[in-house]
Amino acid sequence: MRREGSVITKKKRLQVKSQKNKLIAEQPNRMLVRQLNATLNRKLKSIQHHLTAQQADLQQYLMKTLQDVIHPPKEVPQDVVYKQLNVLFITPCNDRASSSISILVEQSLRHLVKSIYEIKAIQPVGPYLERSKTDLVLVLGGEEGEILPEESMEALRTSTVKKALWLTDLSGVKHSEAFISIFDYVFTQKAKNIPTYGRMSNARCYEVPFPPNPNVYYPQSVLKQDESDVYIIGDAQPGSSLVDLANHALLSGKVVRVEGEGWERFGSFIPVHAQEDRAALYNGSKMVIQDNSSVRSVLEVAACGTFQLNSILTNRNLDTDVFQSYNSQEELTQKFDFYWNRVDQRRLAASRAMAYVKYNHSYLQSSLQLLDRIFR
């Protein structure tokens, strides 16, 4: 029995040993399999990442193609070199107010374009368009309405040359739809006129006011008769900030000039008439207050070195914060009282505004702005 048990035990040992040897023999194979699996997983992840990236790129390409079909990309126009442009400049004949402006505009354009040829509105336009390579026709429009004869209007109407009209329309819209519709671009002195011109034509309309004439609007001494304490520009509408100020004790005993409608009931104020010299009146005033005025008026006051307070609406069209503004009757009276009693602060603010106009609103810069609107 002992011998038989010994034999069984020996068999078991041999079996265990055999299994161990088998496990030892299989271990390298399992390690090899794990290494192969790890290698395959890395490669599969790399392939999966590559396929995902390709799929994303394909989706973006398909979306862009679809967008291009629905909304074709606009052609980017080539930059126009202004020094290669030939400009035909048409000016009014008997408009005295426009004569000095036309000279300043022509002088500025000569610095910007290749050539500029000026003719008076009474001269026929057709022959000049036929015998010269004109890139732009610029018409300076007067306050009196149409300035071109029918023959010239017809020649411009049928011409493919770019046509622009720069209006002197401070007193409102005076030109007819037949005249305005000739032009591709209309430039006005007052933003409030733009909707009217838009209804009259398909022209692109912009506010580009004429800068102050440096030969007219500058700091100067004036006669006693042109002096005043306060110069108010704007209509006397009931409940407005200007009317509230007019009734305020702050103006008591002061010499006040008023320009606008509705001031008749303020008998102590001095009305300003159309023919009066604005440059002298601006220089003669200690403070100018404006409400809903034109940008041109603001720039002219500043060019004279006179302090001004403007409504937020007036200053809105000026891309600067150098002009003092008010947004309510209370703010107007507070700022009026503050600056009236601080002469040095008034002079400092006026000097900053005058420097801004000098360096940012010259005829050269406005002419460049006009060309940018047309060709950019």
What is the DSSP code string of 32-49? HHHHHHHHHHHHHHHHHH
Q: What is the dihedral of CA 10, 12, 18, 19, to 10 degrees?
A: -160
Q: Is the pLDDT of residue 217 over 80?
A: yes
Better-predicted residue by pLDDT, 373 or 7? 373
Give the integer Cα–Cα distance in Å for 230 and 251: 8
CB 88 within 8 A of CB 134: yes
- What are 94's two structure tokens? 């008997």
Residue 294 pLDDT grade (very low, low, confident, very high; cuts 50, 70, 90): confident
pLDDT value at 264 more than 70: yes
pLDDT band at 44 (very low <50, low <70, confident <90, very high): low
Round to whole Å and give the CA distance between 51 and 38: 20
pLDDT score for 354: 96
- How confident is the model at residue 129, as a pLDDT? 85
Q: Which amino acid is at 226?
A: D
The pLDDT of 291-308, averaged and rounded, is 94
Given this model, what pLDDT does residue 60 score? 61
Would the pLDDT of 42 be above 90?
no
Question: Which band of pLDDT confidence, cut at 50, 70 and 90, is reported for residue 43?
Answer: low
- Which pLDDT score, from 0 to 100, does residue 355 have? 95
Amino acid identity of residue 53, one-letter, is A
pLDDT for residue 76: 42
| Beta carbons of 324 and 314 less than 8 angstroms apart | no
pLDDT of the residue at 45 = 64
Long-range contacts of 149-153 (CB under 8 A, 24+ apart): 149/121, 149/122, 149/124, 151/124, 151/125, 151/126, 152/90, 152/121, 152/124, 152/125, 152/126, 153/178, 153/179, 153/182
Average pLDDT of the chain, as a whole number? 85
pLDDT, position 237: 93
Q: Among 72-86, 180-194, 241-255, whose mean pLDDT is lowest?
A: 72-86
Q: What is the distance between the alpha carbons of residues 52 and 226, in angstroms, rounded to a whole number?
A: 81
Of the candidates 143, 128, 127, 139, the residue with the CA atom closest to the CA atom of residue 94:
143
Residue 70 has pLDDT above 90, yes or no: no
Res 14 pLDDT > 70? no
